[in-house]
Amino acid sequence: MSKYNEESSFLSRLYKERTGYLFILPQFILFFGLMIYPIISGFHMSLYKITLKKETFIGIDNYVRLFQDESFIKAIMNTILFVVTVDTLSIVFGIIVSAAIFNKSNKYVSFIRGCFYIPVAVSMVVMTVTWTFLFSPSQGLINFIIGSFGGDPVNFLGDENLVMPIIIFVTFVSNIGQVIVLYVAAMLGIPNELFESAELDGASKIKQFTHIIIPLIKQTSMFVFINQTISVVKIFVVIQLLTNGGPNHESVTLMYYLYEKAFRMNNQMGEAAAIGVIMFLVCLGISLVQLLMFREKSNKKILNITSTKRIPSREEKV
């Protein structure tokens, strides 16, 4: 009897709250159908050998085979190298440039930020086409400049030792704008009073940088780290156009290897799905860090709101 009551009150509550469910319904149908379902089905596919005719269950064989595959190990090492160098370069360069410009006039900030952001807005595809042209052995501007200083032309994209540095460089310069936008916004949010009192205490610019700016933008740095890591992990076009993963799979990454297995080779969909699962797990792990940060921050929010109300920040002043 009491169970029946509970159930009906549960249903009537659902009915009473139907507006909320209806408002989220369109987003949720798409989210579950085209994101959650494919993710789950990816785990499933990764346990099968998939050919055009049939699918055979093979357990974790796809994973075992991947970890015995030299090119896959190379792809993992390259992806790690790629992420670590692009993240480090972006954070260091982003903080320095942003700290140097954020307290200047609005126009100046917009100009510098705009110069760095336009390559992001025009996309990796366009930037990669452009850099392919610049690096081209015979028609490229870079070899012309090297030549005019008396150097010999360099075959940038055919040299095993140069391909990864070039891919890292092109990715870094095409993405740095995003990082600068984030850091400038974070630094503009630091209450001006902190800098004024530091100035009165005679703290040097460098002291202000290490004692005020760096600690107060820690959360932004964390976000930049997560965001850059994931955008680097999924980078594809730079490798496709600059090197096609070559020479000798020297510049292959997880993303590129997944594409190659899925769409360039026959009957390797299962292994491609397994690479996707590995990428998913890495990104999910990083996402959970983000979730924990979000939790922590919502608790702090109340404090932040009261403090920004009292002290006018630079943003409000401008």
| CB nearer to another protein: pick between 78 and 220 | 220
Q: How far is the CB of 220 from another protein (least distance, A)?
A: 7
What b/e sequence results for 228-238 when a residue is b if at least 16 CB atoms lie within 10 Å of its CB, and e otherwise? bbbbbbebebb
From CA 68, how far away is CA 65, in angstroms rounded? 5
Min dist. Cβ of residue 218 to another protein (A): 13
| Least distance in angstroms from the C-beta of 4 to another protein | 19
Nearest distance, CB of residue 166 and another protein, angstroms: 13
Q: Which is nearer to another protein, 125 or 194 (CB)?
A: 125
Are 179 and 116 a contacting pair, CB within 8 Å?
no
**1: number of Cβ within 10 Å:** 5
Complex with another protein: residue 164 or 227, whichever CB lies closer: 227
Q: How far is the CB of 160 from another protein (least distance, A)?
A: 22
Toward another protein, which CB reaches closer, 1 or 54? Answer: 54
Residue 62 or 161: which CB sits closer to another protein?
A: 62
The closest alpha carbon to 92, from 214, 186, 211, belongs to 214
